[in-house]
Structure 1
Amino acid sequence: MLYLQARLKKASDYISLSEKLDIPLVQNPNAPNIKPILLKKVKKENQLKECINDYINNYLLYCLLSYHIS
């Protein structure tokens, strides 16, 4: 909540400053038209399952090797 209040204060400070300095908030027609880059969504559930499976496999391998060595 504090972060949101800080951003709100910063935005209001910027708006009041731009009004006092008479800075218009108009897009420059010479500015390049920027389009957002579409990114693939990461499937975290599958990564978590793979991580857990790797952990279990490594633990089992460790147990088998330590049992075999003993």
Structure 2
Amino acid sequence: MMSEAQSLYAVIQYDGAGRQDVRQVVAPFPDRGAAATFAVDNEMRHFTVRPMVLAAPPGPPSIPAPRRPT
């Protein structure tokens, strides 16, 4: 795993203050400050800055095959 100094960051914007539905993810940024500055300069509301590894799942979700009736 990368140390915090080597991590890239993402701005995660939510639909509302409840932070349940993600509206968009903007990345990569070299540090937290650059990501936060981008969000403020672009008048984004309801956002957080997180390391990119925590911004999205590591791979596509696995969807089980449909079950056939027996």
Query: TM-score scaled by structure 2?
Result: 0.22
More helix by share: 1
Structure of greater Rg:
1
Higher relative contact order (CA 8 A, sep 6+): 2
